[in-house]
Amino acid sequence: MTATPSRCSTWRGTDRPIAAIGENRTFVPPDCSSVAAAGVSGVKAKTWSVSTSPPPGEPGQSTSPELLYALFPPVEPTTATAPAGPARRRRWRVPSVPVLAALIVVVLLSGLLAVVDHGSTGAAAAAVVDSPISGSTADQPFAELPIPPPTTTTTLPPAPAAQPTKPIAPPADPTAPAPVVKIGEIRIPKIGLVHPIYEGITLTVIDHGPGHWPGSALPGQIGNAVFAGHRVTHTHPFRNIDKLVPGDLIQFVMPDGTYTYKMTAQQIVNPSDTWIVNPTPDATVTLFACHPPGSAAHRIVVRGVYVGKS
């Protein structure tokens, strides 16, 4: 194929013809009207070798495959790799109805198998329990073995201490001097009595207040705690003991606690009835004084039983 010079085939407006440059050739009509249509701009056509010959396929031009491949080699397709974007989070999808149905069937079958297995295990355990015991133990089922009765623990108040001695005999001289020793206090709420108590039964002692009979039980001890007192003279602490009735409280405040008794009986005896001071198997109290008030003809005796310590 030869290039025919035309008015467009000079180099930048000069009379110098454009040389043929291999594959950079294209068809340009003599009037330069198809340069842009042929894929080359008017400016670039001045730097490339152009031809006024018809393009392949047109009348007067060879159309062999070799010529076409030589002039227009095939372009290898390039695969453009899209830039990797941020990873998209996979959205959870609700399983379809068949999948849900299959899951429900599996769960139901699992529960049925568990029930059957539990029932068989319970039956085996029951069989073991119902089987007799062999060996050195008596051949009896567990269900028939005696069950020990439940044990309960009951906390009882501490028992009073036993009476260590017996009451002494009445003093031969009631007016004989004796030391005055306070050992506690007596309280009888019914008659409003609150008074110190002393050790001894001579007049030199009971003139100060109720006196404890030496050798008798002390308040809170097992035995008979005996106290004597005046009804009229001096502080007359037992003036109104005749007004006590069963259930009235008699209290003794001692160095180690308060001991409470409950009145149970009242009686009138002779001055010679010293049996009223005899020991008792339980914790009791005995109060006595002259009777009637202002006379020593008789004795009034008030009895009580021990209730507890506080």
Please tell me the predicted confidence (pLDDT) of residue 115: 57
Tell me which amino acid residue 206 is.
I
Phi, psi of 160 (to 5 degrees): -65, 155
Please tell me the predicted confidence (pLDDT) of residue 225: 97
* Neighbouring C-beta atoms of residue 94, cutoff 10 Å: 7
* Neighbouring C-beta atoms of residue 201, cutoff 10 Å: 24
Within 13 Å and on the Cβ side, how many CA atoms surround 203?
8
Please tell me the predicted confidence (pLDDT) of residue 62: 53
Answer for the pair 224, 279: CB distance below 8 angstroms, yes or no: yes
Task: Tell me the C-alpha distance between 149 and 256, whole Å.
Answer: 40
Please tell me the predicted confidence (pLDDT) of residue 54: 56
Query: What domains, with CATH codes, occur in the chain?
Result: 1-73 (no CATH), 182-309 (2.40.260.10)
Q: Among 229, 247, 246, which residue's Cα sits nearest to residue 238?
A: 229
Q: What is the pTM of this model?
A: 0.50
Task: Tell me the C-alpha distance between 156 and 294, whole Å.
Answer: 45
Please tell me the predicted confidence (pLDDT) of residue 26: 47
pLDDT per 10-residue tile (average), the chain, 310 residues: 46 46 47 48 50 54 59 60 57 62 76 60 49 47 57 59 78 90 97 96 94 95 96 94 97 96 97 94 96 94 96
